[in-house]
């Protein structure tokens, strides 16, 4: 995993980096053991911790964090729900701009999931959009125990300019990210495969991008075994957890 450069800005709420994960997430297909680790981790309870509207409200450093980032309405909160097997631990909506704060969820004391407000939503008042984006980007660039960003891309639409800007920002900050395609139930298999190939080609020239896109459908509960395995590779081991 790339190391964060010393010059990277840090933000309040953190001290030492979290311990190194037991295994690395190198983007390869998960083994049976990885899948089992994912099943076990997410069979354990998920607990909503807090919502944060400002950087100085961030919780103290704890377990490794995985952030769910992407354009407004791409399905970030739905992904948190499907991944953790909850109907509505994270609030979802048809109306873009539903999630307006950073929402932290604790996964069995071993991992934290961070559901972010969406970027690229032009219809809210500009001052509000600017404030969300500043908060999200500052968190993404400067959180020392952020281990992985899941960068969600709508399977129907593919990459937009703003997604590539976020990829470049994550690359500069040396924050590893993995692309997750959402709403695969709304796209034909051939079209989805073509879109995944196009994105994979872009990712190959992006620093800090890990592996191939993972296709998911929260509506059909598809793709979550692999995603759970990827996340489990970043969790503190069961014996480290309190």
Ligand X SMILES: Nc1nc2c(ncn2[C@@H]2O[C@H](COP(=O)(O)OP(=O)(O)OP(=O)(O)O)[C@@H](O)[C@H]2O)c(=O)[nH]1
Stretch that binds ligand X, among 8-16, 42-50, 67-75, 169-177 (CB under 6 A): 67-75
- Among Mg ion, ligand X, none, what binds residue 46 when CB lies within 5 to 8 Å by partner kind? none
Of the pair 74, 229, the CB lying nearest Mg ion is at 74
Helix (H, G, I), strand (E, B) or coil at 106: strand
- Say whether residue 234 binds ligand X (CB under 6 A): no
| Residue 31 Cβ vs ligand X, minimum distance, rounded to whole Å | 26
| Residue 92 Cβ vs ligand X, minimum distance, rounded to whole Å | 3
- Say whether residue 195 binds ligand X (CB under 6 A): no
Ordered alpha helix ranges (H), the chain: 32-43, 76-84, 126-142, 161-172, 189-204, 224-232
Task: Give the span between the Cα atoms of 41 and 43, in whole angstroms.
Answer: 6
Ordered alpha helix ranges (H), 72-116: 76-84
DSSP characters for 51-73? EESSGGGPPPS-S-EEEEEEBTT
Applying CB under 6 A, the site for ligand X has a residue count of 24
| Residue 34 Cβ vs Mg ion, minimum distance, rounded to whole Å | 27
227 burial (CB, 10 Å; 0-12 / 13-18 / 19+) is buried
* 133 contacts 140 by C-beta, under 8 angstroms: no
| Residue 73 Cβ vs Mg ion, minimum distance, rounded to whole Å | 8
Contact residues toward Mg ion (CB under 5 A) are 76-77, 98-99
Identify the residue among 30, 62, 118, 176 touching ligand X (CB under 6 A).
118
Identify the residue among 57, 93, 128, 168 touching ligand X (CB under 6 A).
93
Residues in region 7-66 near ligand X by CB under 6 A = none
Q: What is the torsional sign of CA 75, 71, 68, 49?
A: negative
Helix (H, G, I), strand (E, B) or coil at 119: strand
| Residue 218 Cβ vs ligand X, minimum distance, rounded to whole Å | 4
Contacts with ligand X by CB under 6 A lie at 70, 72-78, 92-94, 96-99, 117-118, 182-183, 185-186, 217-219
């Amino acid at each position: 995993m790339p190391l964060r450069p010393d010059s990277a800005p840090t933000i309040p709420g953190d001290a030492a980096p979290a311990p190194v994960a037991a295994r690395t997430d190198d983007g390869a297909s998960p083994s049976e053991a990885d899948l089992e680790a994912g099943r076990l981790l997410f069979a354990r309870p998920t607990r909503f911790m807090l919502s944060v509207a400002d950087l100085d409200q961030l919780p103290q450093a704890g377990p490794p964090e995985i952030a769910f980032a992407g354009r407004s309405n791409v399905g970030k909160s739905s992904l948190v729900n499907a991944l953790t097997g909850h109907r509505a631990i994270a609030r979802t909506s048809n109306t873009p701009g539903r999630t307006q704060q950073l929402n932290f969820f604790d996964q069995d004391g071993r991992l934290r999931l961070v559901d972010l407000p969406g970027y690229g939503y032009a219809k809210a008042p500009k001052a509000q959009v600017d404030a969300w984006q500043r908060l999200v980007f500052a968190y993404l660039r400067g959180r020392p125990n952020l281990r992985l960003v899941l960068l969600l891309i709508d399977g129907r639409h593919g990459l937009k300019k703003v997604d590539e800007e976020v990829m470049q920002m994550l690359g500069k900050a040396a924050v590893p990210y993995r692309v997750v395609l959402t709403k695969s139930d709304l796209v034909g298999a051939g079209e989805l495969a073509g879109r995944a190939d196009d994105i994979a080609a872009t990712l190959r020239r992006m620093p800090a991008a890990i592996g191939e896109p993972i296709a998911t459908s929260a509506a059909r509960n598809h793709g979550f075994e692999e995603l759970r395995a990827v996340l489990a590779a970043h969790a503190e081991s069961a014996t480290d957890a309190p």
